[in-house]
């Protein structure tokens, strides 16, 4: 069975600083997608960044980047130049195959950005 583990229940960072959120996963599949989702206090889940397993290059989206280590089954999120609006729950998620939208989520990391 596929599992996703986020070992940091809470993290905090000062505005403008950099923070890294950790995620590990377990799967026997070779092709899959990995995601980071953000859920602000308003509760609407938003996609932050995605990574295709077959791509060696790490995905980046503006201030957000990932460190994808396929052999180690590790998928961390780095947020640079943190902003107050980055305060939210962050969920790492795994999608097992191409023919489904089913997401397996980690337990989440609550990120607090301080001024």
Pairing of strands 109-114, 10-14: parallel
- Please identify, using beta-carbon distances, which residue of 63 and 110 lies nearer to other proteins: 110
Alpha-carbon torsion (78, 53, 50, 40), positive or negative: negative
Site for other proteins in 36-55 (CB under 8 A): 42-47, 50, 52
Contact (Cβ atoms closer than 8 angstroms) between residue 77 and residue 64: yes
Beta carbon of residue 52, minimum distance to other proteins (angstroms, whole number):
7
Among 29, 31, 60, 102, binds other proteins (CB under 8 A): 102
Task: Give the Cα separation of 77 and 60 in Å (integer).
Answer: 10
Of 88, 19, 15, 84, nearest to 48 (Cα)? 88
- Please identify, using beta-carbon distances, which residue of 49 and 82 lies nearer to other proteins: 49
Among 33, 53, 76, 80, binds other proteins (CB under 8 A): 33
Among 58, 80, 103, 112, binds other proteins (CB under 8 A): 103
Alpha-carbon torsion (39, 42, 44, 47), positive or negative: negative
Beta carbon of residue 74, minimum distance to other proteins (angstroms, whole number):
20
Binding residues vs other proteins (CB under 8 A): 33, 42-47, 50, 52, 91, 98-108
């Amino acid at each position: 069975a596929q599992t996703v583990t986020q070992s940091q229940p809470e993290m905090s960072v000062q505005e403008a600083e950099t923070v890294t959120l950790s995620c590990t996963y377990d799967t026997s599949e070779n092709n899959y997608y990995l995601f980071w989702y953000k859920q602000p206090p308003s509760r609407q889940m938003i996609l932050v960044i995605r990574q295709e397993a077959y791509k060696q290059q790490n995905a980046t989206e503006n201030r957000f980047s990932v460190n994808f280590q396929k052999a180690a089954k590790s998928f961390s999120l780095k947020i640079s130049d943190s902003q107050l609006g980055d305060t939210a729950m962050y969920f790492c998620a795994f999608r097992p195959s191409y023919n489904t939208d089913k997401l397996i989520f980690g337990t989440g990391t609550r990120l607090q950005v301080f001024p």
